[in-house]
Amino acid sequence: MNIPVTQIDMSLSDRCNLNCSFCYTKGGCGNSFNQEYIDKTFEWACDQFNLKASAEQKLRGIRITLYGGEPLFEWEHLKNVIVTKKEYGLKREIPINFGIVTNMTLLSEDKLDWLIKNRVGIHPSIDGCAEAQDMERRFKDGTGSSSIVYENAKRLISRMGGRSGRMTVSPDTVQYLYNSILFMTKELGFRTVNAILAGGVEWTDEKLKIFEQQIEMVTDWWIQEMREGRHWDLYHLRNMFMGIWNARRMRKLCSSGISHVGIDTNGNIYPCHRFCNLQCNSEYLLGTIETGIVNDNLVKTLINYDLAEANKERCKDCPAVLGCHALCLHEMMLHGNGMFEPCSHYCKIWPFYWKMAMRAHSILSAENNQLYFRIYNPRLIRKSVSNSAPINSAQKTI
């Protein structure tokens, strides 16, 4: 294929210090850090990029996000990889931009200093309030991780300002969703919170009902915050607002398997990091760092897949069709429905997202909320509206 891979999710090793029940790459392939694999991965990445990237893409370079396991568990190796591979890219005139996804348990002051100095993006994964965090994100000895994680998160935010945090919601922690989002925003200081349903688990109608109740509470709180001039970027609203304002059906899947791939610690290439474990179905294998991407049929399918056309009948009566992002390849694999068969619980949840977003949209539009317009549709900003919330220094977004 002639499309360059510009974003790579790379497993630095499969070792982790937590034992999360819902981990989508639990155990990975069972491998520790391997320098030979790292060297071959970067050689492949730079070779294919040099051959296929446009002049504009070559200026932007390659984005490498280091996953695990827990990448900070391999601290000395991680530092060496970032320093040497940036130099390797520069020798080949390819900027390599690094990020890490971390559970935040090991982000000490000295590590944070080094990551900031070396311009490494830091992407936290935290599950919210202590009841939720300690229920799922436990150390190997069974103790919870909340106290150390919160300390490190506050240190990160104090140094780098409002950040984006991922929050996994499981059937066991769903009753804490409202409290968790308030904790992540008000207590820890995250400006963006992406609350994502855990995959590969059973979502009963009873648990989904609790989820809806929690999301409704969150939405009511968010509306009031907007009235008072404070904006928080929340996953379930952001995606739907895009559909409300643009009113166009998404036709393409995400970039996974096209310009974005994941590479496991055995050197196998998959559509994204979620597939990097031994439980992955072989039909999703794109190739290896030895062969390159050889599964052209899968790549062509992903490039040419038309969401609107393929799901025309299935989705014709769904109110969320304009904002739906429910076709995640990995989620569909976990639920055994086939590569393009949506998960039933997502088809229940996304219409509720739409309902909540439409409620927020209707209220804030009727109130002529200038903060709402400024963030989600700048064309509608009024220069002088007496009954709208003032735009001031407190109205910060990312």
pLDDT digits (tens, 9 = 90+) for 233-290: 999 999 899 889 987 787 888 899 999 999 999 999 999 999 998 888 889 999 999 9
Predicted confidence at residue 225, as pLDDT, reads 98
pLDDT (tens digit per residue) in 338-372:
778 888 888 899 999 999 999 999 999 999 999 99
- Spans in the chain with pLDDT lower than 50: 382-398
Predicted confidence at residue 380, as pLDDT, reads 62
Predicted confidence at residue 295, as pLDDT, reads 94
> In angstroms, rounded to a whole number, what is the distance separating the alpha carbons of residues 121 and 73?
17
Predicted confidence at residue 381, as pLDDT, reads 55
Predicted confidence at residue 396, as pLDDT, reads 36
> In angstroms, rounded to a whole number, what is the distance separating the alpha carbons of residues 42 and 96?
10
- CB-CB neighbours of 220 under 10 Å: 15
Tokens of 199: 């995959």
Predicted confidence at residue 312, as pLDDT, reads 85
1-124+250-305 maps to CATH 3.20.20.70: yes
SS3 state at 116: helix
From first CA to last CA, the distance across the chain in angstroms is 35
In the chain, where the domains are located: 1-124+250-305, 204-248+306-398
pTM: 0.90
Q: In what order do the strands lie in the sheet with 260-263?
A: 121-124, 96-102, 62-67, 7-11, 260-263, 268-270, 287-288, 292-293
Strands (E), the chain: 7-11, 62-67, 96-102, 121-124, 164-169, 192-197, 233-234, 260-263, 268-270, 287-288, 292-293
Nearest residue to 223 (alpha-carbon basis) of 320, 396, 359, 388: 359
